[in-house]
Structure 1
Amino acid sequence: MNPQIIIQSLLILAVAAVGWMMLRTPGGARNQAARRLVTLAFVLFAVAAIVTPSLMTRVANMVGVGRGTDLLLYALVVAFLAQVLSAFRRNAARERQITRLARRIALDQAPQPPGTTSISPGVDPGAAPRSPTHDT
């Protein structure tokens, strides 16, 4: 068996996993636990690379990579893709939240149809009306 197939398979699986996670809906506690475990594994990997650089070369040779620095580069590419995924999901969640807030503000500031008397939640009916241009 060609040793390069090992690293190629691992890299393809890692990229496919990141791509799959990009398509699925965000998780809760389980997703956060998995992210922490992956972060811990990456930290241990980095510490091992710093403490014993020759170990990186041996591991790289076992999986079909010529040098330990190349293996580290591949790991950093996968970590970068994971970071892009995380930022993408965080940004999408933030955009959904901003959309909900903008809709709520638009509904709260919409004029009441003639002949209706509704009181917005949290508004004191005896308080003086507020000017829409002077928010505090």
Structure 2
Amino acid sequence: MLIIVQIVLVIAVMLVSLALMRGGSNARHLAVRRILLMLFAAGAALSVFFPDALTHVATFFGIGRGTDLVLYGSVVSLFVFMATTYQRFRHSETALTKLSRRIAIDEAEKPGELN
């Protein structure tokens, strides 16, 4: 039964990794993102099959259990996600403001023009 759960977890990690790999802003950013994502996927897959290794890594960093290390990593990932989402939102908001201003200027009545 344990092997089935492990296989399902590895498949889930791979599917999420592939979903996150799509898209990107520029080539350098996308390359770094893909490399980090592949390292994460490999680490996640290894931690499913070798949970004691994750506990040893956690102990190396002074954390008691491997699950605590995963929790801390998840919190950091959440903050990174929130920061990047906020940056994308601000960029979209700025672009929308510029576009709205351009449309307003283009559609404004010119002096001496009749409808």
TM-score w.r.t. structure 1 length? Answer: 0.60
Deviation (angstroms), 1:35: 1.9
Residue among 107, 112, 117 paired with 2:110:
112
Residue 5 (structure 2) aligns with:
none
Residue 68 (structure 1) aligns with:
66
Quote the Cα distance in structure 2 between the aligned partners of 1:78 and 1:42: 13
Name which of structure 1's ranges 38-47 and 64-73 shifts more when overlaid on structure 2.
Answer: 38-47
Q: Which amino acid aligns with 2:80?
A: A
Alpha-carbon displacement from aligned partner over 1:85-124 (angstroms, at most 9, x marks no partner): 2201110111111011101110111001127xxxxxxxxx
Instruction: Count residues in correspondence.
Output: 90
Alignment RMSD (CA, Å): 1.8
Which runs of no fewer than 5 residues in structure 1 stay unpaired?
1-26, 116-128, 130-136
Residue 91 (structure 2) aligns with:
93
Q: Which amino acid aligns with 2:76?
A: V
Residue 126 (structure 1) aligns with:
none
Residue 47 (structure 2) aligns with:
49
The structure with higher relative contact order (CA 8 Å, sep 6+) is 1
Q: Which amino acid aligns with 1:44?
A: A
The sequence identity of aligned pairs, in percent, is: 37
Which runs of no fewer than 5 residues in structure 2 stay unpaired?
1-24
Higher Rg: 1
Alpha-carbon displacement from aligned partner over 1:2-41 (angstroms, at most 9, x marks no partner): xxxxxxxxxxxxxxxxxxxxxxxxx733222222222222
Quote the Cα distance in structure 2 between the aligned partners of 1:85 and 1:34: 17
More helix per residue = 2
TM-score w.r.t. structure 2 length? Answer: 0.69
